[in-house]
Amino acid sequence: MKKLFNPIKDKTAEIIEYLMSSPDMPKDEDLRFKLRLSIEETVENVVQYAYKDGIGWMEVGTALEKNGLTLTITLKDAGKPFNPLEKSDPDINLPLEEREIGGLGIYLCKQLMDEVLYRYEDGCNILTMKKEISK
């Protein structure tokens, strides 16, 4: 399942709902909660930061791999190159007032998903998140 959103300005909720309504999504509520949090964090970051004023496109999709055992979620955009995985994880043991701003969303995503990958290819940022959904 794949869809192109253009422009992405003011479409965060629509993009999230599109991904969450995918027939590839598991029925298990705990898994759906983790997937939704990861999707919200990553989609919001692309919408807010990839393009000046949110004028640009994002292609999103889901797929099942490994005989339906692994859900793959892909976000692709042609915004400014940015690898969120290069940012070091925040020190969550520090008091809030001593922590650096930013980075908590991708950290959360890395904790909730089984695998998070980034690549820059043909002028596009491609973020891939994978989660085992069945045993």
Q: What is the pTM of this model?
A: 0.88
CA 66, 109, 131 angle in degrees (round to 5)? 15
Cα gap 103→45, rounded to integer Å: 10
Q: What is the pLDDT of residues 85-98, one digit of tens each?
A: 887 665 566 565 66
Count of C-beta atoms within a 10 Å radius of residue 14 = 13
Count of C-beta atoms within a 10 Å radius of residue 64 = 18
**Domain 2-132, CATH:** 3.30.565.10
pLDDT at 78 over 80: yes
Q: What is the pLDDT of residues 12-50, one digit of tens each?
A: 999 999 999 999 999 999 999 999 999 999 999 999 889
